[in-house]
Amino acid sequence: MENLLRIRESLLQQDLKKREKYDELRRTLQSNQEQHHLMRLQKNYELSQMEVEHEKTRSEVLEWERKWNQIQETASKKTLLLGQIKMATLNLYEMTCQDEKADEAVDINDTEKQLDQVKTFIQDTDDMVKQYQTSSQRQDGKKRDKKSFPSHRKKKASK
């Protein structure tokens, strides 16, 4: 019987150790599950923050792409306008400076010199028009004077 009591005592001790081990493992499992749950919450929060940041960045990218497209469109329009201005300048130059000698001709790509030549042509033409108007006004004045004198001459001639 004593033997049975020892066996019983030993079994109770083993059972107690196993229960303690079981309780310890259970607490460890529960702690690990809680840590896992907290870590998952933290990672979900970080993920949501990253998604917000991603959306913000994506919005900024779209805004910068829109601005870049606008810059390219403006540059294209200005390039086209510049080409039209250069063509118009070349046409004006060719119309106004047809009589120039070949060695005095301005390079086809030198828009500034072409404009200078057109400006000179306009100034020269303006000077000629002013001279003509001055000369014409003098002649009109002489004609008026001649018209006023013949009426007196006719009276003198008839006497």
- Residue 90 in contact with residue 108, Cβ under 8 Å? yes
Domain ranges of the chain: 1-85, 97-159
pTM above 0.75, yes or no: no
Alpha-carbon gap, residue 44 to 52, rounded angstroms: 12
Assign 3-state DSSP to the chain and report helix, strand, coil percentages, each to 5.
90, 0, 10
Span 8-65, pLDDT tens digits: 999 999 999 999 999 999 999 999 999 999 999 999 999 999 999 999 999 999 999 9
Which of 97, 100, 103 lies closest to 125, judged by CA? 97
- Measured CA to CA, the distance from residue 78 to residue 72 in angstroms comes to 10
